[in-house]
């Protein structure tokens, strides 16, 4: 079987840049060199696509934060090229300049990018323009999954229960703070949760027990997005399901997160590693079946593809189940729930990566079947 040429993208212009590097390390270690020819490209905080010519890998250089040895990568948006180039500094009589050189050909892109400019549909749109196969959801599924407010609207339209919320603009927080606070307090009694509308991995999320917390939470969320979501707090267990597939997705067994802090924060997810994961989650058969069914329903409603981690809240007080979010590029670190759930469901980490790449080619084949030109002779 021919070796598959894989471009692994990581880093990104996002508050989740460091999480992406950690996920990329695990993914790269799982790619079988006998099956895959891997090209590593890192995206820095400024959005530059970078490559290390060696001997140190791009990921290792990015982890150390030293950009001086990295070369800028150019990807053409023209379809059917599938080629990467890099800019090499050269000396000339007129002074230093840059020379465009061929880097690699690409069969499939594996984006290990979390947050904005990675899983929000922007990168996916670029890859569609370039006509490249890529792992994960397309433009629509990515953008809906990333926007928490729009996501809730889509879920409600499909009869999927979500927690009550209020969307406000950062400009409202800056110019009409008292009004925002009053509207938030009409939504629900404390605690309230405040979060950026477009971000993942719990970045910028604040649990607010009083008005002072709410003020701080609004300002914190506004640092990461111009739209801020205020959500009713639920005394809940946090249940997660991994979904894999395209038109006929499958759901893993559910797992439960036992946060080490007041909620499953960025720190407890990725920094201190103290949150517990219960796999499988201790659920009744009915609850487990309901959660898996809702996960698949939400996945299809968003037109997801490839993969997603679907997060739920199970109210400890009344037993109600709420869908929290669908993460279209979930964490892939050694402690991440998405691969752990599939491992517990019988699909090992390397086989999971293989399957995701197969699904990317399957999705690309479906895109290639779309006719791009209107021909009148079909009406004759």
Q: Where are the domains of the chain?
A: 4-134, 145-161+235-366, 165-232
> What does the pLDDT profile of the chain (380 residues) look like in tens digits?
689 999 999 999 987 899 999 999 999 999 999 999 999 999 999 999 999 998 899 999 999 987 888 999 999 888 877 899 999 888 766 667 888 999 999 999 999 999 889 999 999 999 999 999 999 999 999 999 999 999 999 999 999 999 999 999 999 999 999 999 999 999 999 999 999 998 765 678 999 999 999 999 999 999 989 999 999 999 999 999 999 999 999 999 999 999 876 654 455 555 445 468 999 999 999 999 999 999 999 999 999 999 999 999 999 999 999 999 999 999 998 789 999 999 999 999 999 999 999 999 999 999 999 988 877 766 55
What pLDDT does 52 receive? 95
Is CATH 3.30.470.20 the right assignment for the domain spanning 145-161+235-366?
Answer: yes
- Model confidence, pTM: 0.90
**At the top level of CATH, which class does the domain 165-232 belong to?**
alpha beta
Beta-strand (E) ranges in the chain?
A: 4-11, 36-43, 49-51, 71-75, 83-90, 97-105, 108-112, 133-134, 165-169, 192-196, 206-208, 227-232, 236-245, 250-251, 255-258, 276-278, 306-315, 321-327
φ and ψ at residue 18, rounded to 5 degrees = -70, -35
Q: How far apart are CA 302 and CA 258, in angstroms?
A: 28
Secondary structure element (H or E) that encloses residue 200, with its range? none
Nearest to 167 by CA among 237, 243, 231: 231
What pLDDT does 122 receive? 95
Is CATH 3.40.50.20 the right assignment for the domain spanning 4-134?
Answer: yes
What pLDDT does 91 receive? 77
Instruction: Report the DSSP pairing between strands 276-278 and 306-315.
Output: unpaired
DSSP string, 24-78: HHHHHHHS-TTTEEEEEEEE-TT--EEE--SSS-HHHHHHHT--TTPEEEEE--S
What are the Cα distances from residue 38, in Å, to 5, 8, 314?
6, 7, 41
What pLDDT does 185 receive? 97
What pLDDT does 274 receive? 45
């Amino acid at each position: 079987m021919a070796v598959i040429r894989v471009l692994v993208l990581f880093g990104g212009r996002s508050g989740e840049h460091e999480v992406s590097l950690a996920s990329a390390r695990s993914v790269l270690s799982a790619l079988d060199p006998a099956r895959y020819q891997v090209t590593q490209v890192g995206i820095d905080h400024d959005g530059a696509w970078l490559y290390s010519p060696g001997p140190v890998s791009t990921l290792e250089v990015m982890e150390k934060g030293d950009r001086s040895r990295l070369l800028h990568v150019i990807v053409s948006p023209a379809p059917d090229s599938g080629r990467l180039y890099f800019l090499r500094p050269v000396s000339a009589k007129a002074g230093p300049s840059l020379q465009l050189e061929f880097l690699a050909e690409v069969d499939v892109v594996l984006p290990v990018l979390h947050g904005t400019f990675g899983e929000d549909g922007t990168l996916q749109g670029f890859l569609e323009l370039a006509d490249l196969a890529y792992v994960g959801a397309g433009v629509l599924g990515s953008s809906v999954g990333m926007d928490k407010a729009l996501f809730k609207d889509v879920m409600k339209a499909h009869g999927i229960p979500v927690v009550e919320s209020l969307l406000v603009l950062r400009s409202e927080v800056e110019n009409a703070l008292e009004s925002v606070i009053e509207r938030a307090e009409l939504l629900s009694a404390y605690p309230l949760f405040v979060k950026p509308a477009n971000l993942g991995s719990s970045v910028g999320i604040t649990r607010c027990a009083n008005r002072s917390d709410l003020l701080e939470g609004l300002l914190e969320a506004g640092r990461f997005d111009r739209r801020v979501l205020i959500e009713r707090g639920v005394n809940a267990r946090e249940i997660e399901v991994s979904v894999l597939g395209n038109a006929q997705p499958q759901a893993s067994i559910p797992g439960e997160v036992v946060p080490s802090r007041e909620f499953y924060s960025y720190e407890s997810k990725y920094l201190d590693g103290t949150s517990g994961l219960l796999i499988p989650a201790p659920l009744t058969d009915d609850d487990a079946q309901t959660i898996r069914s809702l996960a698949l329903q939400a996945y299809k409603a968003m037109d997801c593809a490839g993969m997603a981690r679907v997060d739920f809240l199970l109210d400890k007080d009344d037993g109600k189940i709420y869908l929290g979010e669908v993460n279209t590029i979930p964490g892939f670190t050694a402690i991440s729930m998405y691969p752990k759930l599939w491992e517990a469901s019988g699909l090992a980490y390397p086989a999971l990566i293989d399957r995701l790449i197969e699904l990317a080619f399957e999705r690309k084949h479906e895109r290639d079947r779309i006719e791009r030109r209107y021909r009148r002779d079909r009406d004759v």
